[in-house]
Structure 1
Amino acid sequence: MDQNQETCVVMVPFIAQGHLNQLIHLSRLIAAYNLPVHFVCAASNTRQAKLRVHCWDPLSASNIQFHEFPIPSFSNDPPEPNATLRFPNHLMPSFTAIMHLREPFLKLISDLSTKMKRIVIVHDYLMSSIVQDYVSVPNAEVYMFQSCSAFTAFWYHWEETQTLKLDHETELMRTKIPTLEGCFSNEFIELLNSEDSCFKNISSGTLYDTSKVFEAKYLELLKHEEVTSGTTKNWAIGPFNPVTMIHHKSSGNEYVKLFDWLDKQEPNSVIYVSFGTTVTLTDEEVREIAAGLEESGHKFIWVVREADKADIFYGDGGRRVELPEGYEERVESSGVGVVLRGWAPQLEILKHPSTGGFVSHCGWNSCMEGITMGVPIATWPMHSDQPRNATLIKEVLGTGIDAREWGRRDEKVAAAMVAEAVRRLMASEEGCLVRKKAAELGVAVRQSVEEGGVMRKELDEFIDHITRQ
């Protein structure tokens, strides 16, 4: 095919880790169709995305080109563990700085437009203001990526419009939806509102990192919300993350030791505990979780790390999360557990047959990875879309239990609460039922990516649409 007849895809991610991760995985899926992909971001965030992506090497994909544009300097303050609001407001200076990509983005797509028949822009919802000038490029079209579940996206939109009449089942679910109180900072809400105003009338459709296997109802409901301003087209092409390991287990002595330990455990006997990249625990919470995990009587892997700073490569590592004296050595020597201090190979841990549960903050990446690998989740939401993702896991899918209810977020964490949640998930009749549902759903989702599966059909349809003659 003549170069001037080709389609290229320009990926524009938001810079929070959970957003970066999804669109770098989507880049791999689209590049597999022999389409050139241009990944547009700030230099340090592109480096972050490539460093942390699981189970494949971004440098091995010759048709993914990374564009690392400079942005203004910004403050790189550490997270505040004792903040009354869990939302990572210390990242806001970087969220503001990334908005300076508007001009270099336009220059890039203008240059590409002279070489390609069609420029397909896939942008994070939170980058709407960056891509709005695409209208000046006649052969460019834009698609919005929604980084949360279809369930969460629907309720956000419905609460704004309340025009769609809900059926009985959905009306009952509405009574279980957590409010947005405590989810976002005022500064971030201003950013959301600003991006929402830029988003109006610009999109040709919406992409979701989810699956019709378990969110068909809410994807259909979203069409009635006219989220993309007059078009009802959406594509559910998740999971974006690999469902089989694309290369061998992560290297390094710590990881070799970790998987040697996991290999020795009984199937479904280990609970994995991780609160993501934006959560900072207080010293008291760390002590109580540590005690609770020991008291539970179950084997565990616990990722103990400070929340990301805005630039993870700048300055020292910040506050070291302190565990009770001798704790790490004691649980390791007794074989009870493993404490990970660095970046954890989460997909590989969740895929391992010894992993039988996941205590999670319910960020959408973690939810999708847990769902994909068939692992039940003890939900512990902290901010943003996490409370509503937790509701999806527990109330709609039936693949999780509460570790800490969102409505009790202001109560002190107690070791007994942690131990009880672990026991419920790992050893109770309720936990067995949840695990069975999670395993069955995991099989269905993994099958959906195979030839003829519902995810593969959605992805094929999207590719056919953007490469149409």
Structure 2
Amino acid sequence: MARYLGNSSHSDPGLTFLDGALNEYGASSVLYISFGSMFFPPPEHLSVLVEAILALEKPTPFLMTTPGAHGHFPEYLEDKIKQSRLGILVSWVDQQSVLSHPATGWMLSHCGAGGTFQALSQGVPIIAWPFAVDQPQHALWVTDVLDAGFYLIQNRTSLAATLKASRGGPAGLRIIGTQQAIRMELDNVLRQAQGFVGAKKRANAQRAGRAIWQYIEPDGKAWNELERLRMYSHEGISTGYLNIVAMQAMV
């Protein structure tokens, strides 16, 4: 797996924060939170998330990216995060550098294809908070197939909140969707992430990461399949498709 190289030299606030967290809290201590540029939780859900992190018995530093044009981050939450001295908000990060940094222990993500692949390629387990399109499928693959993360469901809204989650067995798992239910689920998941269950899921994520690098290296399975497709296409192919092929090859 690729590794974070060198000190950030204070040129990037996110990486500087990670350097400090590594010195103060140790390796794999930071929760990295990113929902991409198109999706973001509503303010009331963000409030529950931040409060759950700050209430953990074991202090957990966290790095969170702010929303793009499609979301709003409440000012009072910004103030709460600053006052906590445990978290930092940034408008943009070099995600691959963050995920390869030794301080990063978990990623809380909407499970877009790019972020999911990048996290697993660095052996970082995922707390899945999907919204729509292909994100629930990626979340299901990470949590149920690879056992490399947790899947949050009490945060579902609109039509999804009226259905039962199949992961609860034949009868389904009831989605309550209240702030109290979201908080209870977050408390449970965050505590497990810090303990034995979380360590097991991190080991599975690291195993997936090793497999990804084997697949995408020259003469790896994904590399060879793309080479074969390029030969048939006579036009070449974007290496971006390597992500999809490698992810599918691990299942």
Question: Structures share a fold, TM > 0.5?
Answer: yes
In the alignment, the residues of structure 2 paired with residue 455 and residue 247 of structure 1 have an alpha-carbon distance, to the nearest angstrom, of: 30
SS at match of 2:223: helix
Query: Which of 167, 175, 192 does residue 424 from structure 1 map onto?
Result: 192
SS at match of 2:87: strand
1:412 aligns to what?
178
SS at match of 2:199: helix
Matched, 1:342 2:91: yes
Query: Which of 397, 401, 422 does residue 150 from structure 2 map onto?
Result: 401
Structure 1 residue 250 displacement after superposition: 9.9
Matched, 1:271 2:31: yes
The alpha-carbon distance between structure 1 residues 410 and 347, as it changes in their structure 2 partners (threshold 3 A), is farther
In the alignment, the residues of structure 1 paired with residue 194 and residue 123 of structure 2 have an alpha-carbon distance, to the nearest angstrom, of: 14
1:338-364 Cα shifts (integer Å, max 9, x gaps): 322301222111111221111111111
2:159 aligns to what?
none
The alpha-carbon distance between structure 1 residues 279 and 467, as it changes in their structure 2 partners (threshold 3 A), is closer
1:457 aligns to what?
224
Structure exhibiting the larger radius of gyration computed from Cα positions: 1
1:382 aligns to what?
131
2:3·2:101 contact (CA, 8 Å) conserved in 1? no
Q: How does 1:65-464 map to 2 (within 5 A)?
A: 252-264=11-23, 265-296=25-56, 297-309=58-70, 319-324=72-77, 326-332=79-85, 337-404=86-153, 407=165, 411-413=177-179, 414-427=182-195, 429-464=196-231
In the alignment, the residues of structure 2 paired with residue 304 and residue 244 of structure 1 have an alpha-carbon distance, to the nearest angstrom, of: 21
The alpha-carbon distance between structure 1 residues 257 and 246, as it changes in their structure 2 partners (threshold 3 A), is closer
| Runs of at least 5 residues in structure 1 that lack an aligned partner in the other structure | 1-241, 310-317
SS at match of 2:120: helix
2:106·2:126 contact (CA, 8 Å) conserved in 1? yes
In the alignment, the residues of structure 2 paired with residue 353 and residue 412 of structure 1 have an alpha-carbon distance, to the nearest angstrom, of: 35
Query: 2:26 corresponds to which letter in structure 1?
Result: E
SS at match of 1:299: coil
1:72-119 Cα shifts (integer Å, max 9, x gaps): xxxxxxxxxxxxxxxxxxxxxxxxxxxxxxxxxxxxxxxxxxxxxxxx
In the alignment, the residues of structure 1 paired with residue 225 and residue 190 of structure 2 have an alpha-carbon distance, to the nearest angstrom, of: 37
The alpha-carbon distance between structure 1 residues 466 and 288, as it changes in their structure 2 partners (threshold 3 A), is same
1:357·1:426 contact (CA, 8 Å) conserved in 2? no
1:271·1:359 contact (CA, 8 Å) conserved in 2? yes
Structure 1 residue 304 displacement after superposition: 4.5
Structure 1 residue 409 displacement after superposition: 6.3
SS at match of 1:394: helix
1:298-325 Cα shifts (integer Å, max 9, x gaps): 423242423435xxxxxxxx85532447
SS at match of 1:404: coil
The alpha-carbon distance between structure 1 residues 392 and 361, as it changes in their structure 2 partners (threshold 3 A), is same
SS at match of 1:455: helix
Query: Which of 209, 227, 234 does residue 467 from structure 1 map onto?
Result: 234
2:245 aligns to what?
none
Q: Percent identity?
A: 23
User: How many residues end up aligned between the 2 structures?
Assistant: 214
In the alignment, the residues of structure 2 paired with residue 298 and residue 278 of structure 1 have an alpha-carbon distance, to the nearest angstrom, of: 30
In the alignment, the residues of structure 2 paired with residue 454 and residue 293 of structure 1 have an alpha-carbon distance, to the nearest angstrom, of: 40
2:28·2:105 contact (CA, 8 Å) conserved in 1? yes
The alpha-carbon distance between structure 1 residues 430 and 256, as it changes in their structure 2 partners (threshold 3 A), is closer
2:78·2:89 contact (CA, 8 Å) conserved in 1? no
Structure 1 residue 271 displacement after superposition: 1.6
1:350·1:375 contact (CA, 8 Å) conserved in 2? yes
| Runs of at least 5 residues in structure 2 that lack an aligned partner in the other structure | 157-164, 166-173, 236-251
Query: 2:153 corresponds to which letter in structure 1?
Result: R
Structure 1 residue 262 displacement after superposition: 4.0
SS at match of 1:348: helix
1:166-211 Cα shifts (integer Å, max 9, x gaps): xxxxxxxxxxxxxxxxxxxxxxxxxxxxxxxxxxxxxxxxxxxxxx
The alpha-carbon distance between structure 1 residues 266 and 382, as it changes in their structure 2 partners (threshold 3 A), is same
Structure 1 residue 291 displacement after superposition: 0.6
Structure 1 residue 375 displacement after superposition: 1.0
TM-score of the aligned structures, taking structure 1 as reference length: 0.41
The alpha-carbon distance between structure 1 residues 444 and 323, as it changes in their structure 2 partners (threshold 3 A), is farther
